[in-house]
Amino acid sequence: MYMKNQLLKVLLSTLFSLQIPLIHAQKYRFDFQNPEKTIESRVDDLVSRMTLEEKTAQLMFEAPAIERLAVPHYSWWNECLHGIARNGRATIFPQAIGLGATFDTDLMHRIGVAISDEGRAKFNENRKVGYMDRYAGLTYWSPNVNLFRDPRWGRGQETYSEDPFLIAQIGVSFVNGLQGDHPKYLKVAAMAKHYAVHSGPEKLRHEFDAVVSRKDLWNTYLPGFEALVVDAKVEGVMGAYNRTNGEPCCAHPYLMTEVLRKKWGFKGYFVSDCWAIQDFYQGHNIAKNKAEAAGIALNAGCNLNCGNTYPALGEAIQSGETTEQVVDRNLKELLPTRFKLGLFDPIGTVPFDTISGDVVRCQKHIDLSYEAATKSVVLLKNQNNTLPLDPEIRSVFVTGPMAADIQALLANYYGVGDDLRTLMEGIIGNVSNHTAIRYVQGSLMDRPNVNPMDWYSEEAQVADVTIACMGITQLLEGEEGEAIASPTAGDRDYITLPPHQIEYLKLIRQKAKGKKLIVVITGGSAISIPEVHELADAIVYAWYPGEQGGKAVGDLLFGKSSPSGKLPVTFVRSIEDLPPFEDYNMSGRTYRFMEQEPLYPFGFGLSYSSFEYGTIRKNSAIYSEGSPVEIGVDITNNGKFPADEVVQLYLAKKNRATGDPKIALRGFQRISLAAGETKTVRFKLDKKAMAQYDDNGNLRIDKGEYRVYVSGALPIQRSTDLGAPKWAETTIQVK
């Protein structure tokens, strides 16, 4: 009897398994709707059912519905640079350059997770009410991993750093957090932009040719993109507006085919920057009309057109500029992303369909924004321990154009929220009930006061301390059409504070005499402030710190936390220290190639505590391939405050080759230390750390002596002591 029962169970199981294909065949009208089939077969099935007109329409960023096939409308254009942008309420994190200043990959991963949670939640809510317009989808055109090579570039705020290694590490963590680790579905689809050599000038971007050597291309401009494609498996790549070495970046055979698809094995989709293909015939003059431009871009593998050029593909096919087979190829590279997101699967089958709207701006995410802002703020000067302030202070004068300016929190590509903490609110929230506070703006941001009467600076004479909140916002620096207060299309033709702000600080300093002057500066780039350094007792650089930025800065000023941000860009003394803006050669640029002494070096940032770097220990003094050198060093907090330190490892080769950097960041770790605590930090110098790229993008390791530095900032001798910690150093040999 037992054997009969077992045989019956096997028979029933077999019959049931045979019924599954029949059941699913009845359930789904078309094969492409069946989530149990492979993505490749589903895409093939969908493409085979479309007319040519339907196919070309699906290559547009506003992809229309195909009702006869039950294909819904989809808008590919969505933004999440530092939080869900342009789509209602969302948690607003510090701008990307501030996130770079955290040097915290774990934080960036958690931010990516939080943003993708909110993105899925908003998508789920929008789908319920049938709202699927622009900025409501799941294909996010972030992050921006262009190199911030020149502080004049207004969009540099969107990037993480002037250093390719830091960009790669931060970017990979962010993308991994966004896209998730589900074996079948993407949580959201991230994008690496703007591929590949793109960093201003804004005014020329529609016609400009960025000319670079192969050495600079591979060692400076491409590492961030390679890391996102190879390591993070980023789903999308966006081409830049400009040309690179003569070819437009949205139709570049070498960059798009040889490097991206073949060498790196990119399997995702490629999109033009918005209206960039239009530049083919209106700016770059490589095409005579819209149809020819559409054919050139499609043939090169630009799968998706953000703009209005691909409606001319029908004409391009008729005139022989391209073919329907090329259309099919591009569709088959584009459409898998929608399937990976589960957009063709029944609602409820995708695990992220259950993320509800209450996650948007939840307390956990608000706290995360606060943590990010706290870790991003950089203390540039703290003469005679001016900071932290005592909450019981008798009187405070708060002034400056940024003190109550919400725009200073937001930067560009921002969301909106209902709890935006300004700098003034953060300061007021930290003082005692008996503290006298006087606030007046005192100065405009972008131009001298129209009324020359000064009713304000006298307050600095009375108050125990003046906190002057100066700086700029994305109205002065940003993207070409967004920076509405900029006379130079968002770029900066001077890199100081606006001169009238400096004059206001001089007036305050004159009136304050023996009183303390603290300057808090907002901005998305390296502002040259040698005069401010002389005027102020303490300087805090806040970037664009997000919705909780004012609270974070206020808490830092009054000692609830210790500053720990580090500069992801070099602060030069003067614009005269920079090569011409249009020159993309790296010679003389960034800390890796500069000869001039900076005002504040890359990686610099003070703390309320102090750190001692012990002697470097290593497992070998000789590097050989396959046997990495392991580095260990003890870091001690020998101050009175618990604090974070960002431990940085740099390599410098003796007798380096022409065009190689003088010194380069090759590792970093953020650690937390209680007062008096010691921790050992370890690094591994492997092939990736030791190598440079050759002109064909292959890693090579030059023989010779390398100097290894472990420090809290770029290890350079300076004529003025900024209070940075000493560094530990050693040498290794490559035989």
Statement to judge: residues 412 and 471 lie in one domain: yes
Residue 426, SS3 per DSSP: helix
Return the number of other C-beta atoms located less than 10 Å from residue 444's C-beta: 14
* pLDDT value for 4: 42
DSSP-assigned letter for residue 95 = P
Q: Is residue 503 part of a domain?
A: yes
- Residue 687: which CATH number? 2.60.40.10
Across 50-69, average pLDDT: 98
In 249-388, where do the E strands start and end?
269-272, 378-382
Instruction: Give residue 726's pLDDT band: very low, low, confident or very high (50, 70, 90).
Output: confident
62-63 vs 74-75, strand pairing mode: antiparallel
Across 353-379, average pLDDT: 98
Return the number of other C-beta atoms located less than 10 Å from residue 514's C-beta: 4
Q: Cβ(96)–Cβ(412) under 8 Å? A: no
Q: Is residue 385 part of a domain?
A: yes
Q: Cβ(157)–Cβ(94) under 8 Å? A: no
Instruction: Give residue 13's pLDDT band: very low, low, confident or very high (50, 70, 90).
Output: very low
The amino acid occupying position 313 is L
DSSP per-residue codes, 468-511: EEEE--TTTSSSTTT-TT-TTTT--S--BS-HHHHHHHHHHHHH
The amino acid occupying position 230 is V
Statement: residue 451 has pLDDT above 80: yes
Statement to judge: residues 367 and 510 lie in one domain: yes
Give CA–CA dist 140/325, Å, rounded: 28
Which structure tokens are listed for 524?
């998305």
Statement to judge: residues 176 and 53 lie in one domain: yes
Which structure tokens are listed for 678?
């010691």
Residue 203, SS3 per DSSP: helix
Domain interval for residue 704: 611-734
Across 139-145, average pLDDT: 98
Statement to judge: residues 349 and 396 lie in one domain: no
Statement: residue 22 has pLDDT above 70: no
Statement to judge: residues 265 and 411 lie in one domain: no
- Residue 549: which CATH number? 3.40.50.1700
Statement to judge: residues 29 and 61 lie in one domain: no
Statement to judge: residues 623 and 501 lie in one domain: no
Rg (CA), the chain: 28
* pLDDT value for 18: 37
Statement to judge: residues 371 and 339 lie in one domain: no
- Residue pointed to by tokens 């010194």: 663
H helix intervals, 515-618:
530-535, 549-557, 590-593
Give CA–CA dist 533/234, Å, rounded: 41
* pLDDT value for 625: 86
The string of pLDDT tens digits covering residues 459-478 is 999 999 999 999 999 999 99
Q: Is residue 85 part of a domain?
A: no
Return the number of other C-beta atoms located less than 10 Å from residue 38's C-beta: 10
Residue 161, SS3 per DSSP: coil
Statement to judge: residues 291 and 257 lie in one domain: yes
* pLDDT value for 719: 63
Across 161-190, average pLDDT: 98
Give CA–CA dist 564/487, Å, rounded: 35
465-471 vs 516-522, strand pairing mode: parallel
Statement: residue 247 has pLDDT above 70: yes
Give CA–CA dist 605/306, Å, rounded: 40
In 591-642, where do the E strands start and end?
611-613, 617-618, 622-623, 629-637
Catalytic residues: 273
Statement to judge: residues 385 and 505 lie in one domain: yes
Q: Cβ(156)–Cβ(148) under 8 Å? A: yes
Statement: residue 168 has pLDDT above 90: yes
Q: Which of 368, 346, 329 is closest to 93 using CA atoms?
A: 368
* pLDDT value for 19: 36
Is residue 178 classed exposed, middle or buried when 0-12, 13-18 and 19+ CB atoms within 10 A define those classes? buried
The string of pLDDT tens digits covering residues 557-568 is 999 999 999 999
Rounded to whole angstroms, what are the CA distances from 640 to 376, 607, 614, 674?
21, 11, 19, 9
Domain end: 329, 359, 389, which one?
359
Q: Is residue 227 part of a domain?
A: yes
Give CA–CA dist 74/134, Å, rounded: 8
Give CA–CA dist 701/689, Å, rounded: 10
Instruction: Give residue 725's pLDDT band: very low, low, confident or very high (50, 70, 90).
Output: low
Instruction: Give residue 658's pLDDT band: very low, low, confident or very high (50, 70, 90).
Output: confident
The string of pLDDT tens digits covering residues 666-724 is 999 999 999 999 999 999 999 999 999 998 899 999 999 999 999 999 998 776 677 75
Number of independent structural domains in the chain:
4
Domain end: 560, 593, 626, which one?
593
Q: Is residue 97 part of a domain?
A: no
Give CA–CA dist 627/396, Å, rounded: 58
* pLDDT value for 26: 54
Statement to judge: residues 401 and 468 lie in one domain: yes
Statement to judge: residues 495 and 348 lie in one domain: no
Is residue 359 classed exposed, middle or buried when 0-12, 13-18 and 19+ CB atoms within 10 A define those classes? middle
Q: Which of 725, 712, 634, 639 is closest to 674 using CA atoms?
A: 639
* pTM of structure: 0.95
Q: Is residue 368 part of a domain?
A: yes
Is residue 614 classed exposed, middle or buried when 0-12, 13-18 and 19+ CB atoms within 10 A define those classes? middle
Residue 519 phi/psi, 5° resolution? Answer: -115, 120
The string of pLDDT tens digits covering residues 392-444 is 999 999 999 999 999 999 999 999 999 999 999 999 999 999 999 999 999 99
% of residues, the chain, pLDDT over 90: 92
Q: Which of 229, 225, 223 is closest to 689 using CA atoms?
A: 223
b/e sequence 427-439, b meaning 16+ C-beta within 10 Å: bbebbeeebeeeb
Q: Is residue 125 part of a domain?
A: yes
* pLDDT value for 24: 45
Instruction: Give residue 591's pLDDT band: very low, low, confident or very high (50, 70, 90).
Output: very high
% of residues, the chain, pLDDT over 70: 96
* pLDDT value for 718: 73
The amino acid occupying position 467 is I
Give CA–CA dist 275/282, Å, rounded: 11
Statement: residue 5 has pLDDT above 60: no
Residues 6+ positions from 573 with CB-CB distance below 8 Å? 528, 530, 596, 597, 598, 599
Domain end: 593, 628, 662, which one?
593
Give the range among 131-135, 586-590, 649-653 with minimum mean pLDDT. Answer: 131-135
The string of pLDDT tens digits covering residues 507-539 is 999 998 889 999 999 999 999 999 999 999 999
Q: Is residue 675 part of a domain?
A: yes
Which structure tokens are listed for 163?
């250093």
Instruction: Give residue 23's pLDDT band: very low, low, confident or very high (50, 70, 90).
Output: very low
